[in-house]
């Protein structure tokens, strides 16, 4: 049986492009966690807003679209078939369910972002329910079609080459996983030829229905992009009050555009570039295994194997760009009101991360330098972190305030300017408070938002005083 060390040694060998596919898997995990984190920030910013709930679910779906190769980081071989009974189910269902759900969420854009020609959809009643009805319907639809012919994987097997087979120059053997060993699997084994090195990988039928979902998704994304563009362009021509019902952030639009461009680049490479390089024949995952494991591959086939692996980076990279632009929009345009929440989360995350790193360093130093149990070092570091917690958090809060400035609407800015004038002498008189309350009422600012604006300004005054 192959050991874990032997498995990953092969994953990072020259034949496997020095672990390039594993690096893509790691990057995809980062992107997935990033999107889930952004979703959390959006929902935490204001759980009562249907738009925030809608965007939070959409961000999670976008993240799962980058998850196709996430599971491949684990031990992908027949000895760990039991592990892959779960991982394979998760890989297929999370990826394709995310695509189906995102379609319905895309079609819901006119509900949350006003478009004149579809203004009948922009109704509060629909906004209250579309954010959960769309994903629910999408999940139910996927659950219905996934067991159907054309959408389910009927047959799967492991193609195995042992060292003994390499020594004998034998063909790879097929070990059934589920279903039966099909003629197509046997043909692939013959196409690979005699075992050139030990290997072990899965061969599976590729349902046409799943390819249809994958190829349809970028087309629907283009349609959604046009909806966002229409809302943004119409919003630019209207006053501020009406803009609130439209997509006003160019950064969000650019992020979605980048994601769509990445998707189209992937499928253009798959449907145009590869057939041109492959004599006009469509290339699938089965063809990729022949390029990877055949003992007599040409330089051109080796190049195509690298290109195939490289294209797997397109989708997570495109979604990472989408996430980056979403963060930019949140910081610059106060999208979904997550700027303040992001500052608090940034400070907490930075402090916690530093604490974890210091704990690990303390443990290692205690074990290596003093030959004592590492936990003692961790305890020393932990106590020290608790002692300096308050001043460190104060410093981080000031740093994050400068790094992530708050954004205000025109009404909030008008109130802030009035409050700044009232605070010129650092005292708000009773008369000034009455005027501020009247201004807040006229601008429809509730007490909670007024307090947030004033607290943020007061904090900036304290920070300036400390620097002086």
Residues of the chain with CATH 1.20.1070: 4-152+207-335
Give the residue-averaged pLDDT of 6-20: 77
Query: Does residue 27 surpass a pLDDT of 60?
Result: yes
Residues 6+ apart with CB under 8 A from 26: 73
Residue 411, phi then psi, degrees to nearest 5: -65, -45
CB 28 within 8 A of CB 66: yes
Q: CA dist 122 to 27, 111, 242, 335, Å?
A: 37, 4, 12, 19
Q: What percent of the chain has pLDDT over 90?
A: 13
Task: With beta carbons less than 8 A apart as the criterion, state whether 235 and 243 touch.
Answer: yes
Average pLDDT for residues 364-383, to the nearest whole number? 56
Q: Is 458 left (phi over 0), alpha (psi -120 to 50) or beta?
A: alpha
Joined together, the tokens standing for residue 235 give: 């919003």
CATH class of 4-152+207-335: mainly alpha
Q: Taking residues 246-274, report their average pLDDT.
A: 80
pLDDT for residue 145: 94
Token digits of residue 466: 């400390």
Rounded CA-CA distance 261/318 in Å is 8
Least reliable range by pLDDT among 115-119, 148-152, 227-231, 289-293: 289-293
pLDDT of residue 384: 65
Cα diameter, the chain: 96
- What strands, in cross-sheet order, belong to the sheet with 173-178? 173-178, 156-161, 199-204
Comparing 4-8, 21-25, 100-104, 265-269, which segment has the lowest mean pLDDT? 4-8
- Nearest 5°: CA angle at 359, between 355 and 362? 135
Q: E strands along 38-169, which residues?
A: 156-161
User: pLDDT tens digit string along 143-188?
Assistant: 999 999 889 988 999 998 888 888 888 888 999 998 889 888 888 8
pLDDT at position 242: 45
Asked if 64 and 36 touch (Cβ cutoff 8 Å), the reply is no
pLDDT exceeds cutoff 90 at 70:
no
The C-alpha atoms of residue 59 and residue 364 are separated, in whole angstroms, by 38
Mean of the pLDDT values across residues 233-238? 67
pLDDT at residue number 403: 43
Contacts of 110 (CB under 8 A, 6+ apart): 118, 121, 122, 227, 231
CA–CA distance, 8 with 245 (Å, rounded to integer):
51
pLDDT of 241 above 50: no
d(CA 167, CA 164): 5
Among 70-84, 313-327, 447-461, name the one with the lowest average pLDDT.
Answer: 447-461
Tokens of 130: 């579309």
Torsion of CA 64, 69, 74, 78, to 10 degrees: 120
Contacts 24+ apart (CB under 8 A), 39-47: 39/63, 41/330, 41/338, 41/341, 41/342, 41/345, 42/336, 42/338, 44/338, 44/341, 44/345, 45/336, 45/337, 45/338, 45/340, 45/341, 46/336, 46/337
């Amino acid at each position: 049986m192959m050991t874990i060390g032997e498995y990953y040694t092969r994953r990072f060998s020259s034949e496997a492009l020095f672990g390039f596919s594993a690096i893509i898997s790691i990057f995809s995990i980062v992107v997935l966690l990033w999107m889930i984190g952004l979703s959390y920030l959006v929902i935490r910013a204001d759980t009562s807003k249907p738009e925030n709930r809608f965007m939070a679910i959409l961000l999670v779906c976008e993240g799962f679209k980058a998850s196709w190769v996430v599971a491949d980081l684990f031990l992908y071989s027949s000895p760990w078939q039991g592990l892959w009974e779960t991982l394979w189910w998760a890989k297929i269902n999370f990826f394709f369910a995310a695509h189906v759900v995102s379609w319905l969420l895309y079609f819901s854009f006119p509900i949350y972002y006003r478009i004149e020609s579809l203004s009948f959809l922009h109704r509060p009643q629909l906004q209250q329910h579309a954010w959960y009805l769309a994903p629910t319907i999408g999940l139910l639809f996927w659950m219905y079609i996934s067991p159907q012919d054309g959408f389910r994987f009927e047959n799967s097997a492991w193609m195995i080459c042992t060292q003994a087979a390499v020594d004998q120059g034998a063909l790879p053997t097929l070990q059934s996983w589920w279903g039966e060993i099909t003629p197509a699997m046997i043909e692939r084994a013959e196409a690979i030829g005699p075992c050139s090195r030990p290997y072990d990988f899965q061969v599976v039928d590729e349902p046409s229905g799943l390819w249809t979902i994958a190829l349809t998704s970028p087309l629907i994304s283009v349609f959604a992009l046009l909806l966002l563009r229409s809302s943004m362009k119409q919003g630019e021509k209207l006053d501020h009050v009406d803009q609130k019902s439209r997509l006003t952030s160019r950064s969000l639009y650019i992020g979605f555009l980048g994601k769509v461009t990445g998707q189209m680049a992937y499928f253009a490479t798959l449907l145009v570039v590869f057939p041109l390089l492959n004599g006009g024949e469509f290339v699938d995952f089965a063809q990729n295994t022949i390029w990877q494991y055949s003992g007599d591959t040409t330089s051109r086939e080796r190049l195509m194997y690298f290109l195939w692996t490289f294209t797997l980076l397109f989708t997570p990279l495109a979604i990472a760009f989408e996430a980056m632009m979403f963060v930019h929009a949140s910081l610059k345009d106060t999208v979904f009101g997550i700027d303040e929440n992001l500052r608090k989360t940034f400070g907490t995350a930075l402090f916690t991360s530093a604490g974890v790193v210091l704990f690990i360093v303390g443990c290692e130093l205690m074990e290596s330098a003093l030959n004592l149990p590492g936990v003692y070092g961790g305890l020393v570091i932990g106590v020290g972190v608790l002692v300096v917690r308050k001043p460190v958090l104060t410093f981080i809060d000031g740093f994050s305030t400068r790094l992530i400035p708050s954004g205000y609407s025109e009404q909030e800015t008008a109130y802030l300017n009035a409050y700044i004038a009232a605070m010129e002498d650092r005292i708000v008189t009773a008369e000034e408070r009455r005027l501020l309350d009247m201004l807040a009422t006229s601008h429809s600012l509730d007490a909670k938002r007024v307090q947030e604006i004033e607290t943020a300004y007061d904090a900036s005054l304290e920070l300036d005083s400390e620097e002086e």
